[in-house]
Amino acid sequence: MKASVLLEVVLEFCAGGNKFVSHWYSMLMKFLGNFKQSKSIKLQCLFANGIVIPKDMRKNSDPPLFGTTATLHIEYGFLVNCSLGDIVDSFLWISPQLNTLTFVRDSDLSCTLKFIYEDASAEDEKTFRSHKLKEVKMENFTCMEQQELRNYLFTNEDYIGVEVSIV
């Protein structure tokens, strides 16, 4: 199954709680890879941890949406054992050239991160982080969420020096 470039995908996951196992995440990564060409992907999940790929599983896997600049929309009801930083970290791995990540929680408040990248060098093209993140723009996040995201970006070695602005 391969999705069209023009396709705007909506995926709803009914799994929830603390019952996620490695098989779930393996299948999720494989499934998401089918939508690499889509211009927009909307994921709906009751529990946000259902769409946060554990770091140990990322080590031996390729990012499912590598090479796409799709806009990702995430709708979730609850955060269980994961933070906003965990969600962003996972989706920057899932789609290393992500341009926009929008969160919609059960309150219907839409919060957006826009990612701006530097041009890739020939050496960078060989890695999954083929475009170095230069700037992140935050829209509609609470002060606590803004601080959490700044802490995530400023303490993660891949993002040191990234400019963060609030729109």
Torsion of CA 99, 112, 132, 60, to 10 degrees: -80
- 51 phi/psi in degrees, rounded to 5: -120, 10
pLDDT at 10: 85
Q: What is the pTM of this model?
A: 0.83
* Mean predicted confidence (pLDDT) in 23-46: 86
Residue 129 has pLDDT above 70, yes or no: no
Q: Which one is predicted more confidently, 93 or 132?
A: 93
Tell me the C-alpha distance between 71 and 40, whole Å: 5
- Domain locations in the chain? 8-166
- For the cut 60, the answer to whether the pLDDT of residue 127 exceeds it is no
Lowest mean pLDDT among 62-71, 86-95, 118-127, 139-148: 118-127
Please state the rounded mean pLDDT for residues 110-120.
87
- What whole-number distance in Å separates Cα of residue 94 and Cα of residue 57? 12
Residue 26 to residue 53: CA distance in whole angstroms: 9
For residue 126, pLDDT beyond 60: no
Residues in the chain: 167
How many other C-beta atoms lie within 10 A of the C-beta of residue 147?
Answer: 11
Pair of tokens at residue 70: 């799709």
- Is 80 exceeded by the pLDDT of residue 77? no
